[in-house]
Structure 1
Amino acid sequence: MTGVTQGEATANVELDAGGVRLVASITAEAARELGVAEGSRVVAVIKASDVILGVEG
C-alpha cells in the first residue's frame, strides 16, 4: 500500500498492483479497524457492477 488519505467518513487507500495504481474507497471505520497505513501489505478484491472509463481528450 502506497498511501492513505483519511477523511471524516471515508478513506482512500492507494495501492500499487504490479505497477498499476489502484485507489480503493473504504469507510474510515474500516480503515481504523484494519490498521491500514502506508507500507502495509494488503490484498485487493475487485467487485464492481459498473466500471466507468474515460479517455484523454
Structure 2
Amino acid sequence: MKISARNFLEGTIKEVHKGATTAHVEIEIKGGIVTASITNESVDELGLAKGKKAHAIIKSSDVMVAVE
C-alpha cells in the first residue's frame, strides 16, 4: 500500500462502537488510543473487529485542544 499521508500508525483494534450510522473505532498504538469516526458501512467492508491489526492514517493540517 502506498499513501501520501506521513502520519501512519500501526496498532490493534481495541473496540468498535457502532451507532445509528457512524462507528467509533479505537486503535491501541504503543499504549495510547487513537479513535476514528467512520461509517458503519466502512467497518463492515473492512471487516474491522476487536483484536485485528489496523493502521491509523492521519492527514490533517491542524490539531486543536481546548480546556475551560
- Which ranges of 4 or more aligned residues in structure 1 deviate by more than 3 Å? none
Partner Cα separation in structure 2 for residue 42 and residue 5 of structure 1: 16
Partner Cα separation in structure 2 for residue 47 and residue 4 of structure 1: 21
1:36 paired with 2:48, answer: yes
Structure 2: which 5+ runs fail to align? 1-12
Instruction: Give the conservation status (yes or no) of the 8 Å contact 2:23–2:37.
Output: yes
Q: CA RMSD in A?
A: 1.3
Partner Cα separation in structure 1 for residue 32 and residue 60 of structure 2: 18
Deviation (angstroms), 1:21: 1.1
Deviation (angstroms), 1:20: 1.3
Which residue does 1:52 correspond to in 2? 64
Which of the pair is proportionally richer in strand? 2
Aligned-residue sequence identity (percent) comes to: 43
**SS at the partner of 1:29?**
helix
Partner Cα separation in structure 1 for residue 18 and residue 61 of structure 2: 25
Structure 1: which 5+ runs fail to align? none
TM-score by length of 2: 0.73
